[in-house]
Structure 1
Amino acid sequence: MNLKKHIVLAMPSHSNFCSPMIENLKFHGYSVTFIDASPEHLKKMRLSFIDKCIHFIRKALFKNSDYKELKKTWLKEDYISKMIDQIPLLTDHDHILVIRPDLFSQDRLQQLRQKSEHNYVGYQWNGLDRFPDTVARIGLFDRFFVFDHSDLNNPKFDTLNLIGITNFSFDMHQPTSTHHKGQRAYFVGLHFDERVETLTQCADILSKLGIQLDFNIRILKNIETSRKKYDDAQIKIIKKNIDFSKNIEHIYQASILVDILNPIHQGLSFRTFEALYYQKKLITSNANIKNYDFYHPDNIFIWETNNLPQLKDFLARPYTQIDQNIVEKYCFHNWLKNILDIAPYQKIVLPD
């Protein structure tokens, strides 16, 4: 008998990966129950008259103004708890995948744990030091994956039985053939003070080489102050995330993808695997990429201050095709089989 594959996906919806995750799971034959770690309606919550009175009294008498946030937390807990209650006990063929478990309370993760005896899997696609609340939750899972090799080598995490795995490229849409003439470079990411210099230098050099820029920066805090740090008119400041379908459009229109390392972790970004899947040249400041089986100097330029004169030659060289088995190794379908331990699959490991 052919059993329908089912997965419970618990992750935040505020990133632009939630919808394509669900779409790709369905594309590969899964029915999906989604549990949102960041319910959108709670962000717009207005206090009732009684709650406003409580908030006013606490603030006036006790100098305590956190009631609204406490109320939101309670409502979030109640909302997620009710969602979990609706999930029937899972069979051995079903799975639970939690991404960014630091956004769920330990109580809710414990509640979710009761739904599956064997197939409870966690994944942290940011470094553990960035979100340290994750660490106390790792023991709840049957398997727990991280994408940053430095977490695997960190002595303080030795007892956690972490498993290394990369990010991936979504494979629901097949790439079309493109020519790589170095005409347009695409970057999208959050603002970090630590990478402004590299990013603006990259934009300046590419412009001087005649490359059109499609550089997009989202600033979350101190917007006006941070905006002034990008003096290049071709760097756009965006007010919200570029959604998945629009991101794919930007990738199709580009011949070069740009990846400036997030200073808070060392793992390979999603941009890396988009470049591999869509056969785009990649400019990256993450030198760790040299240790992967898909690295080729014709396709990937590692941005360092002493090699920038070589960039023009790199852009002039044609793209070298990578073995299709290697490309498929880092696609969503194979990544998912690694995470869920569903054989057969090509094993993905992080380099030392």
Structure 2
Amino acid sequence: MEIRYEMERIGHDVISIKSYENRNFFFKIISRIQWLNTLIVNLLIQKKIRKIKRQVDHVFMIRGVYYNSTTLDSLKKQWPNAEFVLYLWDSLKKSNYRINIKKYFDRIYSFDQKDCNKFNFLYLPMYYNPQFEVNEENKTIKYDLIFIGSEKRDRYFVLKKIQEDARRNNLSINIFLRFSYLGFFRKKVFGGKKYRMIKRNDFQFRNISLDEVVQKYQSSRCIIDIENDLQSGLTPRTYEVIALGKKIITTNSDIKNTSFYNKNNVLVIDRKNPKIEPEFINSTKVMYDKKDLYSLEKWLKEIFNHE
């Protein structure tokens, strides 16, 4: 939703079409059944498209992994003169596109440099939400390390190793690892031997507001980032850290290829054997240069002012 608000703020007239208006428990169950989820998403989108009578200059889609050829053909028919732009904030390795998406779009951007090199997409890193543009730093530090995110793949086990290493080094750590009750049950019962030992107390079963995320990050020295091991692009958390002027500890070695990489601010760790260096935590951080390059406003202008 912040994308729409920012587009309107900088002068665009926006029509927003969501796959689901309200992802309630029923739709979360359906989303586990891929063919049924795809069918419902496309029927809903096609219904919404038919209700729109205005012409538009751009059709901007994010991911669009569930949209079938019928839906995309409907969009092209509805707005034949519009420029079609797609942004991928998941790697193709992680996504499951069943159609040739390239033929439907005039431009395709991706946050994943490897996908850009392989499929000739345009590379565009992700952005930070404007709420992370905080002018004053919180002087009250409660934690040396913090992680906020959802449980995906091996994150739980990587965080457990980080937590153990932090305690050995007398470093305080706060972990907010969000999980759904259904997801916890599935992992616990059907996830195999290694998941039988997971504990309910290790997870949070509630959403966290963006304001609370900002507040928790501000009260911590370093922010932990554990990327999905199926993709190489940098996560939004990376750019949130830049906006806040904090240090980051990440498992994503691709961060070393960025213009903002500085060993005083960024520590790359091995997800299989993560080691936290206390001297990194306590060292003086360096200010990030030109952090506005990763703002949402800059991101949108790059997309819509493309030449």
TM bucket normalised to smaller = 0.7 to 0.9
List per-residue Cα deviations over 1:204-260 (Å, max 9, x = no partner): 2223444332212234252435765557x9x74122443433333332333211001
Partner of 2:136 in structure 1?
Answer: 177
Say whether 1:104 aligns with 2:81: no
> TM-score, normalization: structure 1?
0.72
Cα distance in structure 2, aligned partners of 1:193 and 1:173: 27
Partner of 2:166 in structure 1?
Answer: 206
Which secondary structure does the structure 1 equivalent of 2:228 belong to?
coil
Q: Structure 1 stretch 276-285 or stretch 219-228: which is displaced more?
A: 219-228
The percent identity for this pair of structures is 21
Structure 2 spans left out of the alignment, 5+ residues: 28-32
| Alignment match of 1:141 (pick from 96, 105, 113) | 105
Partner of 1:164 in structure 2?
Answer: 123
Number of equivalenced pairs: 291
Residues 181, 316 of structure 1: 8 Å contact kept = no
Say whether 1:263 aligns with 2:229: yes
Give 1:101 deviation, angstroms.
1.1
Letter in 2 for 1:191: E
Residues 225, 248 of structure 2: 8 Å contact kept = yes
- Cα RMSD of the aligned pairs, angstroms, is 3.1
Which secondary structure does the structure 2 equivalent of 1:255 belong to?
strand
Partner of 2:58 in structure 1?
Answer: 95
Residues 260, 172 of structure 1: alpha-carbon distance in 2 compared, 3 angstrom cutoff: closer
Partner of 1:127 in structure 2?
Answer: 91
Alignment of 1:17-166 (within 5 A): 19-40=1-22, 44=26, 75-91=40-56, 94-114=57-77, 115=79, 117-133=81-97, 136-154=100-118, 157=119, 161-166=120-125
Give 1:120 deviation, angstroms.
1.3
Residues 181, 208 of structure 1: alpha-carbon distance in 2 compared, 3 angstrom cutoff: farther
Residues 88, 108 of structure 1: alpha-carbon distance in 2 compared, 3 angstrom cutoff: same
Give 1:118 deviation, angstroms.
4.2
> TM-score, normalization: structure 2?
0.81
- The structure whose Rg is larger is 1
Structure 1 spans left out of the alignment, 5+ residues: 1-18, 46-67, 344-352
Residues 19, 44 of structure 2: 8 Å contact kept = no
Which secondary structure does the structure 2 equivalent of 1:32 belong to?
coil
List per-residue Cα deviations over 1:38-60 (Å, max 9, x = no partner): 34368638xxxxxxxxxxxxxxx
Say whether 1:194 aligns with 2:154: yes
Give 1:151 deviation, angstroms.
1.3
Letter in 1 for 2:106: D
| Alignment match of 1:331 (pick from 288, 295, 306) | 295
Give 1:198 deviation, angstroms.
2.5
| Alignment match of 1:308 (pick from 272, 275, 282) | 275
Give 1:280 deviation, angstroms.
1.0
| Alignment match of 2:250 (pick from 284, 288, 291) | 284
Q: Structure 1 stretch 238-247 or stretch 118-127: which is displaced more?
A: 238-247
